[in-house]
Amino acid sequence: MQLRLDKYLADMGIGTRTQVKQYIRKNQVLVNGLPPEGPQQKVTDSDMVTFQGSAISYQKYKYYMFHKPKGCVSAAADNRHKTVLDYFPEYSRKGLFPVGRLDLDTEGLLLITNDGALAHNLLSPAKHVPKTYYAEVGGTVTEEDKAQFAQGIDIGGEKQALPAKLEILPEKSPEISRVHLTITEGKFHQVKRMFGAVGKQVLYLKRVSMGGLMLDGSLSPGEYRELTEKELQNLKE
């Protein structure tokens, strides 16, 4: 890897190319402990780059846990709605995409990355990566629904939905049930269609985990943070 210093810093999300040039001019960036010649200076993996005293190592791949709010689409671009990437600063968006899709009105855990191989693995139907949703459902969800979901249920596609684990939580009100549902595939509107198949309507849906990755409760809708090393390792396993 050999890059211009301003590109290196912009790629690592320090700021726009214009901003990082200013940081360089103000001596807030050092290369191997020394002020660089300028933004055009070439840096490689073996150079130690610091910004305001902190080391900036070059990461090819980026992994963010995003708490998707309602009202945005899980796509990199859309001409009608806000996208999940609109929550990231423009200079940091290059190459990023969401891993899988949540409906416009679904909230919760979405992995945002530029690592195509990891995304491919997580989304591969053959891998059966479990995804757990919290849902509020109109009416009373019953043990019979649980048994039907456990068997696999016809949701109107070519193949029926694979067996899924339904956990019935204490109800929200006499009219609204609360559940956790874990599915191992990702068919279009799958959770809503599964409840539809037992005559019920999903009123609120939030994904709480995917593989070994759990939504961080301290992230509000619209917020994101980088994955920790451990989270990334779990996900790769």
Distance CA 53, CA 55 (A): 7
Residue with smaller CB distance to ligand URA, 177 or 190: 190
The structure tokens listed for 126 are 């053959």
Task: By CB under 6 A, name the binding residues for ligand URA.
Answer: 102-103, 106, 189-192, 205
Q: Which residues pair with 132 in a beta bridge?
A: 182, 209
Q: Which residues pair with 68 in a beta bridge?
A: 108
Residues with catalytic roles: 103
- Contact partners, residue 71, CB within 8 Å, separation at least 6: 81, 82, 104, 105
Residue with smaller CB distance to ligand URA, 96 or 191: 191
Pseudo-torsion of CA 50, 42, 97, 18, nearest 10°?
70
Q: Which residues pair with 29 in a beta bridge?
A: 51
Distance CA 49, CA 157 (A): 53
Residue with smaller CB distance to ligand URA, 103 or 216: 103
Tokens 């912009």 belong to 10
Helix (H, G, I), strand (E, B) or coil at 112: strand
Residue with smaller CB distance to ligand URA, 38 or 71: 71
Contact 106, 68 (CB under 8 A): yes
